[in-house]
């Protein structure tokens, strides 16, 4: 095995929904090696989604070992570890630290009635004041109420409540902890004061003692325990950062720390994240208000549930020709699909796609909404349909930006990350619809890199998150918006905006 030179090196670990990905990162931001280990999601009933935290631990330790070994770094040259994690999941522990039941994930939809109960009992005004966010099925607090009602034996055993990445940190260090970016998504956290919300806990009758101490994301919470050192192959005592929520860490990896710079992530879902220097709440609760992984910084975030997922649906269900041709040429089918899309005109001659294949969150909190291709006629070709999907997803992201503009949030530049950002054509569509310059993220593993940034701060390699981001994060090509497209896109976006109100009642009737 070739040695990769003298350290220090950092380990970033992203605990995602489909698996754990670890990377060994140099102090200039170079990713020396990565390793991904997948795990399964259980769906005991329709709309449910659960995972076994033991599977996370196995995948996390294996991915760290494999990444370090592949990098050629000496274990002793690893200065620190940081973990990024999927948000909102509920890890219930008993008094001995044993997991009581499988974790209920962010995408689980079983808690609709609990959300209605919270909203009815507390009211939107107090929810906004106490937490900055509405009660949504993905959040953690409704899961606690669901457990109390539906699994009282399990509920009676609970003594601690952790988030997914915090469970990994517990296994790494023996220390119970959380940090502000991830805690913001529990609906039990006062985002403005950056601490647990006493009024919210009292109103829901959730014991304060169940919740761990709250750190800043770059704080050192402890060092690797003897058992964790053996499992990861790293020295005992290696510093471990408090870590961060996946979206906050992703923003760090994209260099989005300060107001004016916006992170747009195009994965299966789509997010728009705008840092703010003070806590800002959307009066209509369409946007999430969370703490950033940077001290003294917050962010507003809009979420659409089907972004890249919509293009993948087309590829899997209607893209057999492109998949076959891509296999013959040895390229990605998405390259052929997007080449086709570029042949259709701006606005697709009126063909409009509503990307609500899984319902929608921002700006329409509507689980009954469904995907729509509007405007089909005999002149439309496959190129029109693919471009309509790219434009429809981009319009969905623009919905969040429009709310931010109305709130006076500064929007100067977009950094585009996630799988969809690899397409130069799609990035140009975003620049033209947003009417903002757009820069490609330097890596598609921005959450993993963000976790490594926090590791560098916790280990003392860098003095602050800002210094670490300056050293480690990077961006790619910058595209300017094409003013010649603005008129056509304005017309197409208005048509897109008008379709949902026209169909909302029908969506509800068909549910």
DSSP letters for 415-482: EEESGGGG-HHHHHHHHHHHTS-EEEES-S-HHHHHHHHHHHHHTTSSSSHHHHHHHH--EEEEE---
Q: Which structure tokens are listed for 371? A: 């995907």
Closest to 371 measured CA to CA, from 439, 306, 308, 289? 306
User: Contact, 451 vs 82, CB < 8 A?
Assistant: yes
Identify the residue whose tokens are 């917050």.
Answer: 298
Closest to 102 measured CA to CA, from 87, 115, 86, 90? 90
CA 503 to chain centre: 29
User: Contact, 182 vs 85, CB < 8 A?
Assistant: yes
State yes or no: cis peptide before 363, omega within 30 of 0: yes
Active site annotation includes 77: no
CA distance 486 to 149: 52
One of 166, 246, 282, 399 is an active-site residue; which one? 246
In whole angstroms, how far apart are CA 266 and each of 14, 191, 282, 358, 371? Answer: 17, 26, 23, 16, 18
Q: Which structure tokens are listed for 85? A: 């994690």
* 3-state percent breakdown (helix, strand, coil) of the chain, nearest 5: 45, 20, 35
| Dihedral sign from CA coordinates of 171, 176, 182, 188 | positive
Stated as kind and residue range, the H or E segment containing 141 is: helix 140-150
- For 244-269, give one letter per residue: b (16+ CB within 10 A) or e: bbbbbbbbbbbbbbbbebbbbbbbbb
In whole angstroms, how far apart are CA 349 and each of 379, 383, 490? Answer: 9, 11, 13
Closest to 202 measured CA to CA, from 290, 126, 135, 298? 126
Active-site amino acid positions: 246
């Amino acid at each position: 095995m070739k040695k990769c030179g003298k350290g220090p090196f950092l380990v970033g670990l992203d605990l995602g929904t489909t698996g754990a990905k670890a990377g060994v990162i140099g102090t200039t931001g170079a990713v020396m090696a990565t390793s991904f280990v997948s795990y399964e999601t259980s769906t005991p009933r329709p709309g449910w989604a659960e995972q076994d935290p033991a599977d996370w631990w196995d995948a996390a330790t294996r991915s760290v070992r494999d990444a370090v070994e592949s990098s050629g770094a000496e274990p002793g040259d690893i200065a620190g570890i940081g973990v990024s994690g999927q948000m909102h999941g509920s890890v219930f522990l008993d008094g001995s630290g044993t997991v009581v039941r499988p974790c209920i994930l962010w995408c689980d939809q079983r808690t609709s009635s609990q959300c209605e109960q919270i909203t009815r009992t507390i009211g939107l005004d107090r929810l906004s004041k106490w937490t900055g966010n509405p009660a949504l099925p993905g959040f953690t607090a409704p899961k606690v109420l669901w457990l109390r009602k539906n699994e009282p034996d399990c509920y009676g055993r609970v003594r601690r409540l952790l988030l997914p990445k915090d469970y990994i940190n517990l296994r790494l260090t023996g220390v119970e902890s959380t940090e502000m970016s991830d805690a913001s998504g529990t609906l039990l956290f006062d985002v403005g004061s950056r601490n647990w919300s006493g009024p919210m806990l009292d109103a829901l009758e959730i014991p304060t003692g169940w919740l761990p101490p709250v750190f800043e994301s770059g704080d050192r919470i402890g060092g690797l325990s003897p058992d964790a050192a053996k499992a990861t192959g790293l020295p005992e005592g290696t510093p471990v950062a408090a870590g961060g929520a996946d979206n906050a860490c992703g923003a760090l990896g994209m260099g989005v720390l300060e107001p004016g710079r916006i992170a747009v992530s195009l994965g299966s879902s789509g997010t728009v994240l705008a840092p703010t220097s003070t806590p800002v709440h959307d009066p209509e609760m369409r946007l999430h208000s969370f703490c950033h992984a940077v001290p003294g910084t917050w962010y507003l975030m809009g979420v659409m549930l089907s972004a890249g997922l919509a293009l993948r649906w087309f590829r899997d269900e209607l893209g057999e020709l492109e998949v076959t041709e891509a296999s013959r040429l040895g390229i990605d089918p998405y390259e052929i699909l997007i080449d086709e899309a570029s042949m259709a005109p701006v606005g697709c001659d009126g063909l409009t796609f509503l990307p609500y294949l899984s319902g929608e969150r921002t700006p329409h909190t509507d689980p009954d909404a469904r995907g729509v291709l509007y405007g089909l006629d005999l002149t439309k070709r496959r190129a029109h349909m693919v471009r309509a999907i790219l434009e429809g997803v981009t319009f969905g992201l623009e919905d969040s930006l429009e709310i931010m503009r109305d709130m006076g949030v500064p929007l100067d530049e977009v950094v585009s990350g996630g799988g969809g950002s690899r397409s130069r054509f799609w990035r140009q569509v975003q620049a033209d619809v947003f009417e903002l310059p757009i820069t490609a993220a330097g890596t598609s593993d921005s959450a993993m890199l963000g976790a490594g940034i926090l590791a560098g701060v916790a280990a003392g390699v860098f003095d602050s998150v800002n210094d670490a981001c300056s050293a480690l994060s990077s961006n790619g090509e910058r595209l300017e918006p094409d003013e010649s497209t603005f008129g056509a896109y304005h017309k197409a976006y208005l048509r897109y905006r008008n379709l949902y109100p026209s169909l909302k009642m029908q969506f509800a009737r068909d549910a």
